């Protein structure tokens, strides 16, 4: 397999340039902090691919990456995140961003009133494309539960109501460094970074 490189690339010196197709600076900052430790220069590209309606965040990311890669030859990733609440039959799933803008975290708490099962999962799917086609897919999952109230001011999205397994705090009550040790997005990002590093070493 050919080694990924750019003009003038020298082992151990030149960063690998990777683009994140997104308009979310919060998402960019979290993924970038992971990439920095692997000598990967993550840059944001405010472009959007085709969005499909499905519960699967992986399928959403795949379709977006396919359509973007047709006109973007440089290495790029698309990341999509979904919140899956078990007693709501997986809702809001990949529609988390839309539901956040319409119902917000408080709306999810209202839907869960009177329910005993508060367990949930956060899924992060990253799709890597290069040369006009998809090469690899990565998925990270954080298991946990929904808090009974909105807590914390850090993070973004549904972070104020999600308590990861093994913690008593929501993601929004953690620093970015703490969240990046256990979050779904950090898990998919770390696997991606290790894969890129492995390819570069060939």
Annotated catalytic residues are 80
Taking the alpha carbons of 131, 132, 133, 137 in that order, is the dihedral positive or negative?
Answer: positive
| Paired strand residues for 146 | 162
């Amino acid at each position: 397999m050919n080694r990924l490189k750019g003009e003038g690339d020298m082992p151990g010196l030149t960063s690998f340039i990777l683009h994140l197709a997104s308009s979310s600076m919060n998402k960019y900052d979290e993924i970038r902090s992971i990439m920095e430790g692997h000598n990967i220069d993550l840059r944001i590209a405010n472009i959007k691919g085709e969005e499909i309606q499905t519960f699967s965040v992986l399928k959403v990311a795949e379709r977006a990456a396919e359509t973007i890669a047709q006109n973007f030859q440089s290495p790029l990733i698309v990341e999509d995140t979904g919140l899956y609440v078990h007693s709501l039959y997986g809702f809001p799933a990949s529609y988390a961003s839309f539901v956040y803008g319409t119902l917000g975290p408080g709306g999810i708490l209202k839907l869960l009133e009177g329910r005993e099962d508060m367990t949930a999962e956060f899924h992060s799917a990253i799709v890597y494309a290069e040369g006009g086609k998809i090469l690899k897919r990565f998925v990270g999952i954080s298991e946990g539960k929904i808090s009974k109230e909105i807590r914390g001011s850090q993070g973004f999205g549904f972070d104020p109501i999600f308590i990861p397994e093994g913690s008593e705090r929501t993601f929004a009550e953690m620093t970015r460094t703490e969240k990046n040790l256990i979050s779904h997005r950090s898990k998919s990002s770390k696997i991606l970074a290790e894969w890129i590093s492995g390819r570069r070493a060939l």
